[in-house]
Amino acid sequence: LSGYVSTDDQNLTSATIDAGNILTIAIENGDPVTVDLSAYLDNTDVQDLTITGNILSLTGDATNVTLPTADGTETVVTAGTNISVTGDGSSATPYVIANTRPDIFYPPSIAVDVSTTGTARTIDLHAEYLAQYGSPSVVSAGAPAAIPTYTNNELYYYVTYFDPNVFANVSVDNVGVMTYDVIASPTDYNTLINVVFVAQ
């Protein structure tokens, strides 16, 4: 660039090159100098790098590079106690980690009117569960205001025991509605229905 730079003692403050290969040199206390570098550049070897699937290609080059495909061997996932792992980690069969021990719990206690007899009475056990878990009477410091819950189709419902002297024709459907007959009032004003929820 000796033909473009003054012999005066001047400082170059910046140098930039644009897309058209024009070099611009800013000179302290002087006009900027521009140099067309296109004649000095050989653009015949400009190539594009592309990837299709797992094939890496360079235009103008017959040699392609095949990248490895994930098959699950890159990562080790080990099942633990009550935890299962299926799949090989690939996009076709991704890892699925599941809890093999179901979440089993008793729903909250509710009052059941057995002061009179009657048939085909119902209680929405799931609705009662949401009501009490959603607005507990007392919460410990720092705890969320509501307890996490399941939707009605995420649970199995079981009646593990009922007092046969008081109840008959007890059943529960797949969304948690229990149907029952009251055939007699308990003689000591106490009786039991035990219900269990199991997460699917």
Q: Distance between CA atoms of 50 and 55, rounded to whole angstroms? A: 8
Place of tokens 């269990």: 196
Nearest to 1 by CA among 49, 31, 34: 34
Q: Which residue has the higher pLDDT, 94 or 63?
A: 94
Q: Distance between CA atoms of 200 and 198, rounded to whole angstroms? A: 6
Q: What is the pLDDT of residues 23-79, one digit of tens each?
A: 787 766 667 778 777 776 655 556 677 777 667 777 766 667 776 666 666 677 788
Tell me the whole-structure pTM to 2 decimals.
Answer: 0.53
The pLDDT of residue 134 is above 80: yes
The pLDDT of residue 132 is above 90: yes
